[in-house]
């Protein structure tokens, strides 16, 4: 799967982008290769950070579940699709501004997958919370799985828990890849 040769990823620099996104509002951030063991470490460190920052167990659980869905989506996507080691890198941010928390993730994806992801998120963003809940149940009832083994519930679950629409962007990397960013915001009342 991985090749040891370097690949031209154009002018896009994940390290530079990561450094520009760190701010005084950043509670937790991660930049690097996502492996199964690293996923567990990220979740443990983030849970500790959220526990220090929030007193509401409900708010911690909501944010933790969004983070879990976010990084599982990234890991599931990357583990089967990337043919170069450097394309397995991703970043994760947990930020807080007043009573609003956001989880921002970024990872490389194939250009051929952009239209499907964009269409799915736009559809989900156009739904009410009740419609999302019904869609989620419907997908569970059907029990169908995607080519990666999941039921395709990640974006739906994040949108159900979010306080506003999922915010996404695709930045050109080269002729084959883009860098996909996704931000999920949650208002927290303590």
Q: Would you tell me how many other CB atoms lie within 10 Å of the CB of residue 16? A: 10
22-38 mean pLDDT:
91
Q: Which of 87, 66, 83, 84 is nearest to 156 (CA)?
A: 66
d(CA 140, CA 132): 12
pLDDT exceeds 70 at position 45: yes
In CATH terms, the fold of domain 14-187 is Heat Shock Protein 90 (3.30.565)
- Over residues 138-175, the pLDDT tens digits come to 887 765 545 544 446 889 999 999 999 999 999 999 88
42-55 mean pLDDT:
91
d(CA 78, CA 110): 10
């Amino acid at each position: 799967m991985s090749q040891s040769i370097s690949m031209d990823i154009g002018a896009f620099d994940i390290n530079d982008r990561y450094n520009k996104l760190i701010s005084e509002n950043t509670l937790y951030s991660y930049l690097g290769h996502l492996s199964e063991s690293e996923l567990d470490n990220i979740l443990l460190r983030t849970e500790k950070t959220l526990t220090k920052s929030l007193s509401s167990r409900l708010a911690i659980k909501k944010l933790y579940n969004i983070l879990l869905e976010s990084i599982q989506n990234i890991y599931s996507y990357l583990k089967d699709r990337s043919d170069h080691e450097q394309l397995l890198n991703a970043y994760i941010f947990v930020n807080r501004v007043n009573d609003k928390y956001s989880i921002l993730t970024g990872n490389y994806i194939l250009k051929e997958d952009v239209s499907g992801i964009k269409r799915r998120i736009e559809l989900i963003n156009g739904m009410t919370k009740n419609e999302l809940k019904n869609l989620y149940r419907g997908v569970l009832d059907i029990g169908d799985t995607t080519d990666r083994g999941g039921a395709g519930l990640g974006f739906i679950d994040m949108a159900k828990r979010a306080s506003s629409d999922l915010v996404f962007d695709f930045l050109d990397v080269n002729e084959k890849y883009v860098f996909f960013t996704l931000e999920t915001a949650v208002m927290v009342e303590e």
